[in-house]
Amino acid sequence: MRAFLDIPADSPFSLQNLPFGVFSTADNPTARVGVAVGDWVLDLAVLQRAGLFDGPWLRERLVFAQPALNAFMVLGRPAWREARQRLQDLLRADNPALRDDEALRARALWRREAVTMHLPATIGDYTDFYASREHATTVGALLRGPDSALQPNWLHLPVAYHSRASSVVVSGTDIRRPWGQIHPEGAPGPIMEPTRQLDFELEMAYFVGPGNPLGAPIPIEQAAEHIFGLVLMNDWSARDIQRWEYRPLGPFLGKSFATSISPWVVTLEALEPFRVPGPHQEPEPLPYLRRREHRAYDVHLEVHLQSDRMERPQIIARSNHRYLYWDICQQLAHHTSNGCNLRPGDLLGSGTISGPTPEAGGSLLEVTRLGERPIRLEGGDARRFLADGDRVTMTGWCQGDGYRVGFGEVTARILPARAG
């Protein structure tokens, strides 16, 4: 496919991608739905009002003149597919409907640098999984010792915890260093102070589409029909707060202060050419979790760190979505196996995505081995954990034949803790 717009081969937002997001502009602060294509954002509310969505699912449903994607998500895969196919058709180089309508293009096309991005959905609930075997093994060994790195249940079910939807923020939002209760080594008791061990976690997350009624589990063979698309995610972590509080119940204040996501949601249709087998699972999961098809994706992931003294960011980690032991359909099927109801716009995170090589650690906890092996930054600085002023940027993309399906980036800068 070739678009009438000039799209570089290395653009994350090719015609094969067309991710959905929510944006506003300086002259129109009303948030509405758009898609990213090359260096442009296409205003879907304008196209819908112009009558260019004439299929059965979108002809009379004004889902794009909304400040969130939830109304579109609830319609399910037939509507998602209809919108994607129509947009690809409208953007093709040989289709004059949008190409030759200068007045419509002037209202509908915005340069990406001229728009403000918002959270793509109203997130009612947010669950974070713990689905990377390499991450779970490394962290377990560091915190509990190598003989008990993986808990007995880990190879039998996708472990997860319920986190805070209220503190999920869009890329570009600065993160304030949190206060918390920590117990320094050798201290007689805990103290209350800003975290000394602020960390990132390289993750991907997906948005739920139609969801399920309370008491009605989603079978694994139907799980993909309830997944709208994926984003990049940085689940910020305060390791010293987390370590002191996590027993016996799990993550709480060491995690809930902030989670950052990228603004563009890449659909499963766009990712379809990049499906690959996930890691072999032994022992075989129970029947309700057995894979019916491959649902890992070949998404190249990178973490960049730039201190306030550095002229450019430095890559400190590389990983891939395909390393996840538990795939997204297994996660969703397990989440609903007890009858838990998921709703449109719910966010489900993968947990830290680490891989089998030293450079594939998805957090500083792993890369520095709990601070014992600091990384060296260009210019001479070292990092055990994140410092004030540091900017962390994560990127991800699938590489096709002459095109990319990318996620853009999720980025944030660390601000100092508030005065005590």
**Average confidence (pLDDT) over 279-300:** 97
The whole-number pLDDT of residue 119 equals 98
Note whether 239 and 201 are within 8 A (CB): no
Q: Band of the pLDDT at 247, cuts 50, 70, 90? A: confident
Distance CA 39, CA 11 (A): 8
* Least confident among 80-89, 136-145, 301-310, 374-383: 136-145
Band (pLDDT 50/70/90 cuts) for residue 97 is very high
Residue 272 sits at the vertex; the CA angle it makes with 270 and 278, to the nearest 5 degrees, is 130
Q: Does the structure show a pLDDT above 90 at 279? A: yes
The vertex-333 CA angle with 130 and 352, nearest 5°, equals: 15
Counting Cα atoms < 13 Å in the Cβ hemisphere of 379 gives 12
Question: What tens digit of pLDDT does each residue of 11-26 get?
Answer: 999 999 999 999 999 9
Query: Rounded to whole angstroms, how far apart are CA atoms 315 and 378?
Result: 10
- In the structure encoding, which two tokens stand for residue 84, read together? 């994607």
Rounded Cα distance between 263 and 99, Å, is: 26
Percent of the chain whose predicted confidence (pLDDT) is above 70: 100
pLDDT at 246 over 90: no
pLDDT of the residue at 1: 80
Asked if residue 222 has pLDDT above 90, the reply is yes
Q: How confident is the model at residue 164 (pLDDT cuts 50, 70, 90)?
A: very high
| pLDDT over 90 at 64, yes or no | yes
Residue 267 has pLDDT above 80, yes or no: yes
How many residues in the chain? 420
Give the number of other CB atoms < 10 A from CB of residue 271: 19
Read off the pLDDT of each residue in 112-138 and give the average, rounded to a whole number: 97
**Residue 88 banded pLDDT, cuts 50, 70, 90:** very high
What distance lies between CA 203 and its chain's CA centroid?
A: 6
Query: Average pLDDT for residues 33-62, to the nearest whole number?
Result: 95
Say yes or no to pLDDT of 249 above 80: no
Cα–Cα–Cα angle for 396, 399, 402, nearest 5°? 135
Residues acting as catalytic residues = 135
* pLDDT bracket for residue 129 (50, 70, 90): very high
Give the model's confidence band at 60: pLDDT under 50 very low, under 70 low, under 90 confident, else very high. confident
Asked whether the beta carbons of 201 and 362 are under 8 A apart, the reply is yes
Tokens of 67: 């400040």
**Rounded to whole angstroms, how far apart are CA atoms 206 and 204?**
7
Residue partners of 337: CB distance under 8 A and separation at least 6: 217, 288
User: Which DSSP state fits 67?
Assistant: S
Number of C-beta neighbours around residue 101 at 10 A: 14
End-to-end CA distance of the chain: 57
How far apart are the C-alpha atoms of 293 and 355, rounded to whole Å? 22
Structure confidence at residue 142 (pLDDT): 86
Q: What is the pLDDT of residue 50?
A: 96
- Distance, in Å, from the CA atom of 297 to the CA atom of 320, rounded to the nearest integer, reads 8
Work out the pLDDT band at 148, boundaries 50, 70, 90: confident
Strand 126-129 with 347-349, pairing: parallel
Give the model's confidence band at 297: pLDDT under 50 very low, under 70 low, under 90 confident, else very high: very high
Share the mean pLDDT of the chain: 96
Confidence of residue 379 (pLDDT cuts 50, 70, 90): confident
Closest by alpha carbon to 80, among 171, 204, 208, 203?
A: 208
| Rounded Cα gap, residues 271 and 227, in angstroms | 12
Q: What is the predicted pLDDT for the residue at 175?
A: 98
C-alpha 192/C-alpha 287 separation (Å) is: 47
pLDDT score, position 282: 97
358's CB contacts (< 8 A; 6+ apart) are none
pLDDT at residue 215 in the model: 98
